[in-house]
Chain A
């Protein structure tokens, strides 16, 4: 079990809505990832520094520590190699562009499509091992 765990990829979910964080954790664990959660940006940052996850799934609007500022700090700390997947319920214009600029690997609007999310995470983790990082993908969930 411990050997298996060592090879499991670790994903950190930073999301202020407890229910969505739980749903994400269930999905990701079901897909064989080791999942930890943080309910705000600051806590997330602490966990990143302590545990060095392989990938971060992060909300943009959170009461303490916006998703973007966490991403910026990671750049400053030389941790920009950790792929970030942003998830947001906001439809404000410019978010996708901002996420791209911060080198996010994907950007999902809530409600997200769980299959697409899992596929994107899987691809991101695989391409992380390759020299060329995948480009930011925008996944516009079909809304109608």
Chain B
């Protein structure tokens, strides 16, 4: 052609538009030239005197060009997915691997191998038995056996073993393994090794803590026994000389050692009383230890509390009379027998009456009353009132504490080791009851305690109002397991309906509820049922809802989220307090104990 030769044009075309088919059309050409052109990249070669072949040649060239483009596209795609797949495999936080079976020769490991164990991936692939050699000797045999015995029938198997890292450390790994067996190929085993060192360390730490806790628990139990034994021995050692001293005093006083003059009798009386006081102290100490070590067991039998009280009053009568204190009783005639441990109940009554006598000046009086507890007819309430010096408000809770003793000077004479009221509280609570005091300094004190009339009636009726069905279910199961009768309601309206059907003993109320919310429900409860005990169970202790609810206090607050123990503890407290204690203690706008 003029200006440009065919081969030159081919070179240009290939440079500027590769992929476009190039066909030579020539008048005459030697075989050699034709071969050269095809070698240089021409698609075809048509002689001018055979132009009839040109059209099929063009069709074929176009078809081939299309196929080639397609294939190139597919290759590019394959490369892209390979890169993606590699990136994916290498980004997995674990070693992805593949090996041949049964030789367990590794054919692939992901890059994480280097990061996790510190050896380059090639080592895994090139060194024979690299994997086996780097398993912790203690785990090696088992891991190799598990891997080698895997069959295609199993979906996957996972096991845990240790490997030795390049830095000399030990890495705990979990290997999740499966077998792939394709037609015509040898079986492959593949898996992923995940680093579980952290979990293993945490487990070991937990086991350590568990073991420590168990040891501590065993130590405490042992210690408890030791304390118990120590006090038994102490009590025995104290009582033996005490018995002897008291006996010899009695023998002399009974005239078995000759006649006595009145002064001698008087002095010996004092000595004998001192022995008795000492004896009471030893007994209190032993009882307190029993209570603390949980070894106090009650022998509950139906008994008439009025008879018991009368017996105690009769035995203390002379002492009261001696101090010119009047003892009165106000019992209704129809009191039922209730389950009590007679000896322990006498102890409670004796302690309360002794205290009353101790703190009441001459000319005063002490009254014991017995009646159904106000608003809680399932409880019997016993009240010991005196006209003594009274107890300041801030002492009201503390006087029941162990080791608490009213300051010297308040009392006329100091007696006992200050365990009396502590023992009263513990013994009453062991009976399923509660004790509290009402008092004004200078005007006297009243100690009240309530006891359940029947152990069965200890099963309180609870109503739980909460819009969260899971919460309702959880609370119901929890409280039923604690032997409470439980009813539930999903909102305020349903709750109030339930209450109208049957009045519960305690209401457990959520604040944030749709429709009739907590404060609105509480308002209705107060309007219809007065001061029925309510536990507000809410996550919003500082919210507007809480402020609204406060207008209908008192109630006990149980903050969400609450543990099962907290729930039960709170319900028990409210149940025991019945009337006052918890409401006063557990806050909210309440200064004075609630009175009916």
Residues of A bordering B, CB below 8 Å: 17, 19-20, 23-24, 26-27, 30, 61, 89-93, 110-112, 114, 140, 142-144
Closest Cβ neighbor of A18 among chain B residues: B244
Q: In whole angstroms, how far apart are the Cα atoms of A142 and B311 in the complex?
A: 12
Interface stretch (choices B89-97, B248-256, B498-506): B248-256
Are A110 and B283 within 8 A (Cβ)?
no
Are B232 and A91 within 8 A (Cβ)?
yes
Closest Cβ neighbor of A114 among chain B residues: B250
| B313-333 contact mask (Cβ, 8 Å, vs A): 1 or 0 | 001000000000000000000
Are A20 and B350 within 8 A (Cβ)?
no
B240 CB within 8 Å of chain A: yes
Pick the most buried of B247, B251, B280, B315: most chain A CB atoms within 10 A of its CB: B247
Closest Cβ neighbor of A90 among chain B residues: B236
Give which listed residue, A24, A61, A89, A111, contacts B246 with CB less than 8 A: A111
Additional 19 contacts, C-beta under 8 A, given A61-B236, A93-B297: A17-B243, A17-B244, A19-B247, A20-B243, A23-B247, A24-B247, A26-B251, A27-B256, A30-B254, A30-B256, A89-B240, A90-B236, A111-B239, A111-B242, A111-B279, A114-B250, A143-B280, A144-B280, A144-B283
Q: What is the distance, in angstroms, from A124's C-beta to the closest C-beta of chain B?
A: 20
B contact residues around A111 at 8 Å (CB)? 239, 242-243, 246-247, 275, 279
Are B283 and A143 within 8 A (Cβ)?
yes
Are B248 and A19 within 8 A (Cβ)?
yes
B241 CB within 8 Å of chain A: yes
B286 CB within 8 Å of chain A: yes
A contact residues around B346 at 8 Å (CB)? 144
Beyond A91-B286, A111-B246, whether A144 also contacts B256 by CB under 8 A is no
B contact residues around A112 at 8 Å (CB)? 243
How many of B's residues come within 8 Å of A, CB to CB? 30
Beyond A89-B236, A140-B343, whether A19 also contacts B286 by CB under 8 A is no
Are A110 and B347 within 8 A (Cβ)?
no
B351 CB within 8 Å of chain A: yes
* Interface of B, helix, strand, loop or mixed by DSSP: helix
Q: In whole angstroms, how far apart are the Cα atoms of A9 and B247 in the complex?
A: 22
B265 CB within 8 Å of chain A: no
B contact residues around A24 at 8 Å (CB)? 247
B contact residues around A19 at 8 Å (CB)? 241, 244, 247-248
B325-360 contacts to A (CB < 8 Å) = 343, 346-347, 350-351, 354
Are A23 and B248 within 8 A (Cβ)?
yes
Q: What is the distance, in angstroms, from A119's C-beta to the closest C-beta of chain B?
A: 15
Closest Cβ neighbor of B350 among chain A residues: A144
B contact residues around A89 at 8 Å (CB)? 235-236, 239-240, 243
A contact residues around B244 at 8 Å (CB)? 17, 19-20, 23
Q: What is the distance, in angstroms, from A46's C-beta to the closest C-beta of chain B?
A: 24
B215 CB within 8 Å of chain A: no
Q: List 26 A-B contacts (CB under 8 A).
A: A19-B244, A19-B247, A19-B248, A20-B244, A23-B251, A24-B247, A26-B251, A27-B251, A27-B256, A30-B256, A89-B243, A90-B232, A91-B232, A91-B235, A93-B295, A110-B239, A110-B240, A110-B243, A111-B239, A114-B247, A140-B343, A142-B315, A143-B280, A143-B283, A144-B283, A144-B351
Are A20 and B232 within 8 A (Cβ)?
no
Closest Cβ neighbor of A87 among chain B residues: B243
Are A26 and B232 within 8 A (Cβ)?
no
5 closest A-B pairs by beta carbon, nearest first, are: A19-B244, A23-B247, A89-B239, A111-B243, A110-B243
A contact residues around B286 at 8 Å (CB)? 91
Q: What is the distance, in angstroms, from B418's C-beta to the closest C-beta of chain A?
A: 15
Q: In whole angstroms, how far apart are the Cα atoms of A22 and B150 in the complex?
A: 87
B257-308 contacts to A (CB < 8 Å) = 275, 279-280, 283, 286, 295, 297
